Amino acid sequence: MKKIIFTLIMAVFAGATLYAAESATLNPVKDGFVKQSDNTYYDAYQNMELSSYLNANREIFIDYDLTGVSFTPQHATLKLYVNSVSSATPFILAAYAQTGNVITESLTFTTRPTTGQQKNVDIHAAQDSVGKWLTFDVSDFVKSKDFSTNKLLYFRIVVLYPPTTSTTSPLITIGSNESANKPQLILSDTPVPGIYEVPYASIETLYSSVPYVAAGNPTHAFSGAGLLPEMKHVTAGDNMVWRNSSGTYPIKLMIKFNQPINISKLHIWNMNWLFGTGSTDYTDRGVNGVSLYVSTSTDDMTAVALTDGRWTKISADGFQLTRATGSVSYQGEDVVITNAENVRWFAFNVLSNFAATNYVGMSEVKFYKEIFPASTPTGLTDIAKAAISISSVDGILSISNISPDSRVDLFNIQGQLICSEVVKGTNLELQIPAGIYVVKANGKAIKALNR
């Protein structure tokens, strides 16, 4: 067995390769907001205002110039600083992105662009947001554009929910280019590893096999309208949950994404509904037994039987969810997902609830995807296919069953290549500091914890 000892600070053994990721933080070239009430653009204030009141809307526009960025962005986040919020109700903001710069002296609420933009939705609770940064992951938009010739882009920020209750007071104020906390666009030439929420804007189609009234539309279970601070959910039902009017099991709820997604987990809030003045407990209508399916097909799968080869079951039959508590402190549960790569369709095949009725629903579902370091293939969680094993004892990371004469790469969790070695045998030992790493071997990559 070959043992290699090195430090991360000084150097690495012969044959190792180090690189530093490039990044850039940009402030706007211009920013401001438009008001519907007077059809005017404002750009000289430290606060930019957002409002959703009927006939008194306010929207923010932010222009950026990427001329000084010499690398091709692979990860991008837009950060906005919240100075005030006039409502205790949780709110939903949407960031719409488009190439080019839009702000001119003639920009008004009437002339503002509202079409041809890519939407990214982020959800934040009002009580938790003041004095903090809101972060939008806009990587998908930035990666989809060619900035070699046109290096300009802009963002349009709007309030989707809730409606503002005042015609004069803004719902939210955001720090502008004139303030200490300017809007930031942070770019990197490598994907930043981590677990990321899949934005609601990534959902292209929602389908339910049972009828529902408008107040129980499936969109309510994915838009975040009923979420409270600290991952809690309201106990209301109307316009806050997906619920069917009637139906016979199994009942299908299907989601189509607008692009392939590697799903790593779900966070599910089951039906958390207390109804009427007597607070009738409808949590028994939550999903009990359910089977989960995914499909990589771009076909319309709403009418395709789950037994069709284009569907793959990723859970046991009748996998059971936990019943909601019927309390505003209810925080839902995580469901870890495996074998869900390049997913275009996700299906809940509901088999039962907690009662003797065919009424069923869920309060909220969030999808999460995992981003791994650059230069690693997809399928990173499939250890069996990689046919390697990893163990850690007393600071020694041991890698076994390596294909002879193959290369082993070790990345830190920031995506930096720490070492690279052609292994003559089948085993390798590395003495490294404690932490989380990604080991690439046999054409695959897996996460490893060194203790």
Q: What confidence tens digit (pLDDT) does each residue in 166-214 have?
A: 777 788 999 999 999 999 999 988 777 778 888 888 899 999 999 998 9
Q: Is residue 303 located within the same domain as residue 169?
A: no
Closest CA to 183 of 315, 82, 301, 331: 82
Q: Is the pLDDT score of 383 beyond 60?
A: no
pLDDT tens figures, 325-376: 999 999 999 998 888 989 999 999 999 999 988 899 999 999 998 776 554 4
In whole angstroms, give the CA distance from residue 126 to residue 174: 13
Q: Which residues contact 278 (CB under 8 A, 6 or more apart)?
A: none
Which of 338, 371, 404 is where one domain is finished? 371
Task: Kindly report whether the global pTM for this prediction surpasses the value 0.75.
Answer: no
Q: Is residue 6 located within the same domain as residue 134?
A: no
In whole angstroms, give the CA distance from residue 434 to residue 108: 55
Q: Is residue 231 located within the same domain as residue 357?
A: yes
Q: Is residue 157 located within the same domain as residue 294?
A: no
Q: Is the pLDDT score of 125 beyond 70?
A: no
CATH at residue 316: 2.60.120.260
How many structural domains does the chain have?
A: 3
Q: Is residue 304 located within the same domain as residue 208?
A: yes
Q: Is residue 96 located within the same domain as residue 240?
A: no
Q: Which two tokens stand for residue 427?
A: 């085993």
Enclosing domain of residue 420: 2-20+375-450
Q: Is residue 212 located within the same domain as residue 326?
A: yes
Percentage of the chain beyond pLDDT 70 is: 90
Q: Is residue 153 located within the same domain as residue 74?
A: yes
Q: Is residue 200 located within the same domain as residue 115?
A: no
* Per-residue pLDDT, 430: 87
pLDDT tens figures, 290-339: 999 999 999 999 999 999 999 999 998 888 999 999 999 999 999 988 88
Q: Is residue 16 located within the same domain as residue 27?
A: no
Let me know: does 303 contact 297? Beta carbons within 8 Å.
Answer: no
pLDDT tens figures, 34-68: 999 999 999 988 999 999 888 889 999 999 999 99
DSSP-based three-state secondary structure for 283: helix
Which of 189, 220, 241 is where one domain is finished? 189
CATH at residue 414: 2.60.40
Q: Is residue 276 located within the same domain as residue 403?
A: no
| Torsion angle (degrees, nearest 10) of CA 289, 292, 298, 302 | -10
Q: Is residue 121 located within the same domain as residue 216?
A: no
Which of 319, 352, 371 is where one domain is finished? 371
For residues 329-354, b (16+ Cβ closer than 10 Å) or e, as one string?
ebebeebebeebbebbbbbbbbbbbb
CATH at residue 133: 2.60.120
For residues 186-211, b (16+ Cβ closer than 10 Å) or e, as one string?
bbbbbbbbeebbbbbbbbeebbbbbe
